[in-house]
Amino acid sequence: MRFETMGEAGLGHGVTPAHLKEIRRLEKENAILKKLLPEKELEGHLKDALLKKKYAWASKKK
């Protein structure tokens, strides 16, 4: 049955079409998360820089 639906690839690892579909879904989700992480890190750095700039007087008093 697997050979009919997936060809030789289906025989090798026991991967079903449902598994392949889930793998593709997870790969897409992973790609999205890999894009979001640097954006969030940059956002955090920018916020820190702005706060340091805005409240620079607070660190000078010490």
Give the SS3 label for residue 62.
coil
Q: What is the mean pLDDT of residues 54-62?
A: 70
Q: Rounded to whole angstroms, how far apart are CA atoms 22 and 28? A: 10
pTM of the entire predicted model: 0.51
Q: Rounded to whole angstroms, how far apart are CA atoms 24 and 39? A: 23
Fill in the amino acid letter for 25: R
**Quick one: CA torsion of 21, 26, 31, 33, rounded to 10 degrees?**
150
What are the pLDDT digits (tens) for 25-57? 999 999 999 999 999 999 999 999 988 888 877
Domain boundaries, the chain: 2-60
Q: What is the pLDDT of residue 62?
A: 55
Q: Rounded to whole angstroms, how far apart are CA atoms 52 and 59? A: 9
Q: Would the pLDDT of 8 be above 60?
A: yes
